[in-house]
Amino acid sequence: MLITSRTRERLIFPKGNKDKKESRKKPCKREAFEEAGIIGKVFKKFPITQRISKSQNGKLGHVCVTYYPMFVLKQFDEWPEKSIRERHWIELHNAMSRNLEPEFVNIIKNFILLKDFIVSHAKEKDLLS
């Protein structure tokens, strides 16, 4: 699932900043709900870190972001950033055909490589039948 960015209207993954006292899961869950209107189970065993470009104060810079796969349990019709973002569900095997920035292509390639491990983990957690 990708969302539109607020500033450059490109497709990105939900992300946000972690407060010093927060676990790794909490900001993932918070940002997924605020930016995309979803809640679910975060799989912290499968981090994917990527350097991405980010617009800050009108300037384009780079930051390292660690993404975690999420097993989505519920999708809401209304969410805090619905008026400024669009949500786009894309099947993993079709994601490479989208016009994505190279940095997001790398993340998707990593998800593809980890897919079998993530599915096995979801089965262990009784999230899949």
Specify the CATH number for the domain of residue 69: 3.90.79.10
Domain presence at residue 83? yes
Pure H helices in 6-125: 25-36, 102-124
Domain with 106, as residue range(s), is 2-124
129 located within any domain = no
Q: Among positive and negative, which fits the CA dihedral 23, 104, 101, 98? A: negative
pLDDT > 70: percent of the chain: 98
Count how many domains the chain has: 1
Mean pLDDT of the region 7-14: 84
The amino acid sitting at 30 is: R
In a domain, 27, yes or no: yes
Residue 58's pLDDT is 78
- Across residues 108-113, what is the average pLDDT? 91
> What per-residue confidence (pLDDT) applies to 78?
97
- Residue 39 belongs to some domain of the structure: yes
